[in-house]
Amino acid sequence: MFKHRNVYFVLVFALSCFMLSPVLADDVLTVYSGRNESLVGPILAQFTEDTGIEVEVLYGGTSAVANQILTEGENSPADVFIAQDGGALGALADAGMLHKLPDATIARVANAAFVSPAGVWAGLSGRARVFVYNPEALEEQGLELPNSILDLTGEEWSGLVGWAPTNASFVANVTAMRVLLGEEATAGWLAGMIANGVNAYPKNTPIVQATIDGEVVGGLVNHYYLFRFLAEDPDITATLHFFPGGDLGSLINVAGAAILKTTDQPYDALALVDYLLSDAAQEYFAQSTYEYPLVSTVEPSVDLPALADIETPEFDLSDLADLQGTLELIEESGALD
Protein backbone atom coordinates (compact mmCIF):
# COMPACT_ATOMS: atom_id res chain seq x y z
CA MET A 1 0.00 0.00 0.00
CA PHE A 2 1.07 3.63 -0.42
CA LYS A 3 2.58 5.71 2.31
CA HIS A 4 0.57 8.65 3.69
CA ARG A 5 3.00 11.00 1.94
CA ASN A 6 1.93 9.72 -1.46
CA VAL A 7 -1.78 9.97 -0.65
CA TYR A 8 -1.28 13.59 0.36
CA PHE A 9 0.52 14.53 -2.83
CA VAL A 10 -2.02 12.69 -4.94
CA LEU A 11 -4.71 14.93 -3.44
CA VAL A 12 -2.66 18.09 -3.89
CA PHE A 13 -1.80 17.17 -7.48
CA ALA A 14 -5.35 16.34 -8.48
CA LEU A 15 -6.95 19.35 -6.85
CA SER A 16 -4.36 21.95 -7.87
CA CYS A 17 -3.50 20.76 -11.37
CA PHE A 18 -6.68 19.21 -12.64
CA MET A 19 -9.33 21.08 -10.61
CA LEU A 20 -11.55 18.03 -10.75
CA SER A 21 -14.06 16.90 -8.15
CA PRO A 22 -12.21 14.78 -5.56
CA VAL A 23 -13.96 11.54 -6.40
CA LEU A 24 -11.90 8.48 -7.32
CA ALA A 25 -12.58 7.18 -10.81
CA ASP A 26 -13.83 3.64 -11.19
CA ASP A 27 -12.53 3.26 -14.74
CA VAL A 28 -9.54 1.17 -15.72
CA LEU A 29 -6.31 3.17 -15.90
CA THR A 30 -5.13 3.38 -19.51
CA VAL A 31 -1.37 3.22 -20.03
CA TYR A 32 0.35 3.74 -23.36
CA SER A 33 3.74 2.05 -23.21
CA GLY A 34 6.68 2.46 -25.56
CA ARG A 35 8.49 -0.20 -23.53
CA ASN A 36 8.04 -3.88 -24.31
CA GLU A 37 5.56 -5.90 -22.29
CA SER A 38 8.36 -8.22 -21.19
CA LEU A 39 10.10 -5.26 -19.51
CA VAL A 40 7.23 -3.44 -17.79
CA GLY A 41 4.35 -5.92 -17.83
CA PRO A 42 5.40 -7.67 -14.59
CA ILE A 43 5.76 -4.45 -12.58
CA LEU A 44 2.43 -3.12 -13.90
CA ALA A 45 0.79 -6.39 -12.84
CA GLN A 46 2.38 -6.01 -9.40
CA PHE A 47 1.02 -2.46 -9.20
CA THR A 48 -2.49 -3.78 -9.76
CA GLU A 49 -2.00 -6.52 -7.17
CA ASP A 50 -0.68 -4.07 -4.57
CA THR A 51 -3.15 -1.24 -5.15
CA GLY A 52 -6.26 -2.81 -6.68
CA ILE A 53 -6.06 -0.32 -9.56
CA GLU A 54 -6.76 -2.10 -12.85
CA VAL A 55 -4.49 -1.21 -15.76
CA GLU A 56 -5.06 -1.59 -19.48
CA VAL A 57 -1.90 -1.23 -21.57
CA LEU A 58 -1.34 -0.37 -25.22
CA TYR A 59 2.17 -1.50 -26.22
CA GLY A 60 4.14 -0.30 -29.22
CA GLY A 61 7.36 1.36 -30.29
CA THR A 62 8.03 4.54 -28.33
CA SER A 63 7.96 6.83 -31.38
CA ALA A 64 4.81 5.20 -32.72
CA VAL A 65 3.01 5.43 -29.39
CA ALA A 66 4.05 9.06 -28.89
CA ASN A 67 2.84 9.90 -32.40
CA GLN A 68 -0.47 8.18 -31.68
CA ILE A 69 -0.97 10.34 -28.60
CA LEU A 70 -0.13 13.45 -30.63
CA THR A 71 -2.59 12.40 -33.31
CA GLU A 72 -5.34 11.65 -30.79
CA GLY A 73 -4.76 15.01 -29.12
CA GLU A 74 -7.47 15.98 -26.65
CA ASN A 75 -9.35 12.79 -27.50
CA SER A 76 -6.55 10.50 -26.32
CA PRO A 77 -7.77 7.89 -23.82
CA ALA A 78 -4.25 7.60 -22.37
CA ASP A 79 -3.79 8.43 -18.71
CA VAL A 80 -0.09 7.61 -18.39
CA PHE A 81 2.67 7.37 -20.99
CA ILE A 82 5.69 5.16 -20.34
CA ALA A 83 8.48 5.93 -22.81
CA GLN A 84 11.66 4.20 -23.87
CA ASP A 85 13.55 7.50 -24.03
CA GLY A 86 13.51 11.13 -23.03
CA GLY A 87 13.01 12.31 -26.59
CA ALA A 88 9.47 10.96 -26.89
CA LEU A 89 8.60 12.53 -23.55
CA GLY A 90 10.11 15.79 -24.75
CA ALA A 91 7.97 15.69 -27.89
CA LEU A 92 4.78 15.41 -25.85
CA ALA A 93 6.01 18.09 -23.47
CA ASP A 94 6.66 20.42 -26.41
CA ALA A 95 3.10 19.79 -27.58
CA GLY A 96 1.77 20.83 -24.17
CA MET A 97 0.19 17.45 -23.50
CA LEU A 98 1.78 16.61 -20.14
CA HIS A 99 0.84 17.68 -16.63
CA LYS A 100 3.37 18.96 -14.14
CA LEU A 101 4.21 16.35 -11.53
CA PRO A 102 4.35 17.16 -7.81
CA ASP A 103 7.74 18.19 -6.47
CA ALA A 104 7.79 15.15 -4.19
CA THR A 105 7.51 12.83 -7.19
CA ILE A 106 10.25 14.62 -9.13
CA ALA A 107 12.47 14.63 -6.03
CA ARG A 108 12.51 10.83 -5.96
CA VAL A 109 14.89 10.92 -8.95
CA ALA A 110 18.36 11.51 -7.55
CA ASN A 111 19.86 13.26 -10.59
CA ALA A 112 18.15 16.34 -12.02
CA ALA A 113 19.48 15.41 -15.49
CA PHE A 114 16.98 12.55 -15.56
CA VAL A 115 13.79 14.56 -15.09
CA SER A 116 12.06 17.19 -17.17
CA PRO A 117 13.33 20.71 -16.41
CA ALA A 118 9.66 21.74 -16.43
CA GLY A 119 8.74 18.88 -14.09
CA VAL A 120 6.36 17.18 -16.53
CA TRP A 121 8.06 13.79 -16.72
CA ALA A 122 10.32 11.66 -14.53
CA GLY A 123 12.95 9.10 -15.46
CA LEU A 124 12.27 5.58 -14.22
CA SER A 125 15.49 3.77 -15.13
CA GLY A 126 18.79 4.62 -16.80
CA ARG A 127 20.23 3.06 -19.95
CA ALA A 128 23.83 3.69 -20.92
CA ARG A 129 24.93 3.56 -24.54
CA VAL A 130 28.15 1.55 -24.77
CA PHE A 131 30.48 -0.30 -27.11
CA VAL A 132 30.19 -4.02 -26.34
CA TYR A 133 33.30 -5.81 -27.56
CA ASN A 134 35.12 -9.14 -27.69
CA PRO A 135 38.58 -8.72 -26.08
CA GLU A 136 40.00 -11.73 -27.96
CA ALA A 137 38.82 -10.42 -31.32
CA LEU A 138 40.10 -6.95 -30.46
CA GLU A 139 43.56 -8.37 -29.78
CA GLU A 140 43.54 -10.54 -32.88
CA GLN A 141 42.83 -7.46 -35.01
CA GLY A 142 45.59 -5.51 -33.27
CA LEU A 143 43.11 -2.82 -32.27
CA GLU A 144 42.83 -0.50 -29.30
CA LEU A 145 39.51 0.55 -27.85
CA PRO A 146 38.14 3.68 -29.54
CA ASN A 147 38.13 6.95 -27.60
CA SER A 148 35.05 8.16 -29.44
CA ILE A 149 32.07 6.77 -31.30
CA LEU A 150 33.28 8.96 -34.17
CA ASP A 151 36.48 6.88 -34.40
CA LEU A 152 34.50 3.88 -35.65
CA THR A 153 34.52 5.30 -39.19
CA GLY A 154 38.28 4.69 -39.27
CA GLU A 155 39.66 2.19 -41.79
CA GLU A 156 40.95 -0.06 -39.00
CA TRP A 157 37.32 -0.75 -37.99
CA SER A 158 36.17 -1.64 -41.51
CA GLY A 159 33.58 -4.43 -41.37
CA LEU A 160 34.16 -5.01 -37.65
CA VAL A 161 31.34 -3.01 -36.02
CA GLY A 162 27.64 -3.73 -35.55
CA TRP A 163 24.72 -1.35 -35.14
CA ALA A 164 20.91 -1.51 -35.13
CA PRO A 165 19.76 1.49 -37.19
CA THR A 166 16.05 0.98 -36.50
CA ASN A 167 16.45 0.57 -32.74
CA ALA A 168 14.83 3.35 -30.68
CA SER A 169 17.90 3.81 -28.48
CA PHE A 170 20.15 4.11 -31.52
CA VAL A 171 17.75 6.70 -32.97
CA ALA A 172 17.95 8.66 -29.72
CA ASN A 173 21.74 8.46 -29.80
CA VAL A 174 21.83 9.84 -33.35
CA THR A 175 19.38 12.55 -32.29
CA ALA A 176 21.88 13.57 -29.61
CA MET A 177 24.50 13.83 -32.34
CA ARG A 178 22.26 16.14 -34.31
CA VAL A 179 21.76 18.34 -31.23
CA LEU A 180 25.45 18.59 -30.32
CA LEU A 181 27.25 18.16 -33.67
CA GLY A 182 24.71 19.44 -36.16
CA GLU A 183 22.98 17.89 -39.17
CA GLU A 184 25.95 17.91 -41.53
CA ALA A 185 28.39 16.23 -39.13
CA THR A 186 25.81 13.62 -38.11
CA ALA A 187 24.98 12.81 -41.73
CA GLY A 188 28.72 12.53 -42.37
CA TRP A 189 29.14 10.05 -39.52
CA LEU A 190 26.27 7.89 -40.77
CA ALA A 191 27.73 7.93 -44.28
CA GLY A 192 31.18 7.12 -42.95
CA MET A 193 29.91 4.14 -40.98
CA ILE A 194 28.10 2.75 -44.01
CA ALA A 195 31.13 3.28 -46.25
CA ASN A 196 33.18 1.47 -43.62
CA GLY A 197 31.07 -1.66 -43.94
CA VAL A 198 29.16 -1.45 -40.65
CA ASN A 199 27.07 -4.59 -40.02
CA ALA A 200 23.36 -3.90 -39.54
CA TYR A 201 21.22 -5.94 -37.14
CA PRO A 202 17.51 -5.68 -36.33
CA LYS A 203 18.09 -5.00 -32.62
CA ASN A 204 20.66 -5.05 -29.83
CA THR A 205 20.51 -8.71 -28.83
CA PRO A 206 21.95 -10.09 -32.09
CA ILE A 207 24.72 -7.49 -31.94
CA VAL A 208 25.84 -8.90 -28.60
CA GLN A 209 25.59 -12.45 -29.96
CA ALA A 210 27.63 -11.51 -33.03
CA THR A 211 30.24 -9.97 -30.74
CA ILE A 212 30.43 -13.11 -28.61
CA ASP A 213 30.72 -15.25 -31.73
CA GLY A 214 33.49 -13.08 -33.20
CA GLU A 215 31.36 -12.09 -36.18
CA VAL A 216 32.18 -8.49 -35.27
CA VAL A 217 34.72 -7.07 -32.84
CA GLY A 218 32.05 -4.97 -31.18
CA GLY A 219 28.86 -3.00 -31.54
CA LEU A 220 26.79 -0.07 -30.31
CA VAL A 221 24.17 -1.21 -27.80
CA ASN A 222 22.56 -0.42 -24.46
CA HIS A 223 24.57 -1.68 -21.51
CA TYR A 224 22.05 -4.15 -20.09
CA TYR A 225 21.89 -6.51 -23.07
CA LEU A 226 25.26 -8.02 -22.19
CA PHE A 227 24.06 -8.86 -18.67
CA ARG A 228 21.21 -10.91 -20.09
CA PHE A 229 23.81 -13.11 -21.78
CA LEU A 230 25.97 -13.20 -18.66
CA ALA A 231 23.01 -14.42 -16.63
CA GLU A 232 22.89 -17.47 -18.91
CA ASP A 233 26.64 -17.95 -19.27
CA PRO A 234 28.98 -15.99 -16.95
CA ASP A 235 32.02 -17.21 -18.94
CA ILE A 236 31.24 -15.49 -22.24
CA THR A 237 34.05 -13.41 -23.71
CA ALA A 238 32.51 -9.99 -24.11
CA THR A 239 32.64 -6.83 -22.04
CA LEU A 240 31.58 -3.19 -22.09
CA HIS A 241 33.50 -0.08 -23.07
CA PHE A 242 32.22 3.32 -21.94
CA PHE A 243 33.57 5.99 -24.28
CA PRO A 244 35.53 8.54 -22.19
CA GLY A 245 35.60 12.32 -22.10
CA GLY A 246 31.89 13.07 -22.38
CA ASP A 247 31.71 11.38 -25.76
CA LEU A 248 28.36 11.01 -27.49
CA GLY A 249 28.85 7.26 -27.50
CA SER A 250 28.35 7.29 -23.72
CA LEU A 251 24.92 8.89 -23.76
CA ILE A 252 22.79 8.06 -20.72
CA ASN A 253 19.14 7.98 -21.70
CA VAL A 254 16.17 7.12 -19.53
CA ALA A 255 12.95 5.26 -19.69
CA GLY A 256 10.40 7.59 -18.13
CA ALA A 257 6.78 8.25 -17.32
CA ALA A 258 4.38 11.15 -17.61
CA ILE A 259 0.72 11.90 -16.96
CA LEU A 260 -1.38 13.11 -19.86
CA LYS A 261 -3.45 16.26 -19.51
CA THR A 262 -6.35 14.32 -20.99
CA THR A 263 -6.60 11.95 -18.02
CA ASP A 264 -9.80 11.84 -16.01
CA GLN A 265 -8.08 9.72 -13.35
CA PRO A 266 -5.42 11.97 -11.81
CA TYR A 267 -5.35 10.05 -8.53
CA ASP A 268 -4.67 6.67 -10.07
CA ALA A 269 -2.34 8.08 -12.72
CA LEU A 270 -0.11 9.70 -10.10
CA ALA A 271 -0.31 6.58 -7.94
CA LEU A 272 1.21 4.61 -10.82
CA VAL A 273 4.04 7.08 -11.45
CA ASP A 274 4.86 7.16 -7.73
CA TYR A 275 4.76 3.37 -7.62
CA LEU A 276 7.24 3.11 -10.49
CA LEU A 277 9.59 5.34 -8.49
CA SER A 278 9.19 3.31 -5.30
CA ASP A 279 12.09 1.24 -3.98
CA ALA A 280 10.25 -1.96 -4.89
CA ALA A 281 9.82 -0.96 -8.53
CA GLN A 282 13.34 0.44 -8.77
CA GLU A 283 14.72 -2.85 -7.45
CA TYR A 284 12.67 -4.63 -10.11
CA PHE A 285 14.30 -2.57 -12.87
CA ALA A 286 17.74 -3.16 -11.37
CA GLN A 287 17.34 -6.91 -10.87
CA SER A 288 15.09 -7.94 -13.75
CA THR A 289 16.17 -5.64 -16.58
CA TYR A 290 19.72 -4.79 -15.35
CA GLU A 291 19.06 -1.08 -15.83
CA TYR A 292 20.27 1.72 -13.60
CA PRO A 293 17.82 2.56 -10.80
CA LEU A 294 17.35 6.31 -10.55
CA VAL A 295 16.54 6.69 -6.85
CA SER A 296 19.36 7.05 -4.35
CA THR A 297 18.09 4.25 -2.10
CA VAL A 298 18.53 1.47 -4.68
CA GLU A 299 21.79 0.24 -6.21
CA PRO A 300 22.40 -1.58 -9.54
CA SER A 301 22.26 -5.34 -9.19
CA VAL A 302 25.20 -5.98 -11.53
CA ASP A 303 28.79 -4.75 -11.75
CA LEU A 304 28.46 -1.33 -13.36
CA PRO A 305 30.25 1.98 -12.93
CA ALA A 306 28.21 4.46 -10.92
CA LEU A 307 26.15 6.81 -13.06
CA ALA A 308 28.05 9.74 -11.58
CA ASP A 309 31.35 8.20 -12.74
CA ILE A 310 30.36 7.85 -16.40
CA GLU A 311 31.65 10.75 -18.51
CA THR A 312 28.53 11.59 -20.47
CA PRO A 313 27.66 14.41 -22.86
CA GLU A 314 25.78 17.12 -21.00
CA PHE A 315 22.47 18.32 -22.38
CA ASP A 316 18.75 18.24 -21.70
CA LEU A 317 17.26 14.86 -22.64
CA SER A 318 14.07 16.69 -23.61
CA ASP A 319 16.07 18.10 -26.54
CA LEU A 320 15.96 14.63 -28.11
CA ALA A 321 12.36 15.35 -29.14
CA ASP A 322 12.87 15.40 -32.94
CA LEU A 323 13.01 11.64 -33.39
CA GLN A 324 11.14 11.85 -36.69
CA GLY A 325 13.83 14.09 -38.14
CA THR A 326 16.44 11.54 -37.10
CA LEU A 327 14.51 8.67 -38.64
CA GLU A 328 14.39 10.59 -41.91
CA LEU A 329 18.13 11.31 -41.72
CA ILE A 330 18.92 7.63 -41.08
CA GLU A 331 16.71 6.58 -43.99
CA GLU A 332 18.30 9.16 -46.30
CA SER A 333 21.76 7.88 -45.34
CA GLY A 334 21.00 4.45 -46.82
CA ALA A 335 21.41 2.70 -43.45
CA LEU A 336 18.10 0.89 -43.93
CA ASP A 337 18.86 -0.40 -47.43
Domains along the chain with CATH numbers: 4-126+252-302 (3.40.190.10), 127-251+321-333 (3.40.190.10)
The dihedral region occupied by 101, where left means phi > 0, alpha psi between -120 and 50, and beta the remainder, is beta
Interval 93-120: pLDDT, tens: 999 999 999 999 999 999 999 999 999 9
Q: Which of 166, 170, 31 is nearest to 87 (CA)?
A: 170
Res. 2: pLDDT tops 60: no
Res. 22: pLDDT tops 50: no
Q: What pLDDT is recorded for position 163? A: 98
Q: What pLDDT is recorded for position 120? A: 97
Q: How far apart are CA 168 and CA 83, in angstroms?
A: 10
The dihedral region occupied by 197, where left means phi > 0, alpha psi between -120 and 50, and beta the remainder, is left
Interval 219-256: pLDDT, tens: 999 999 999 999 999 999 899 999 999 999 999 999 99
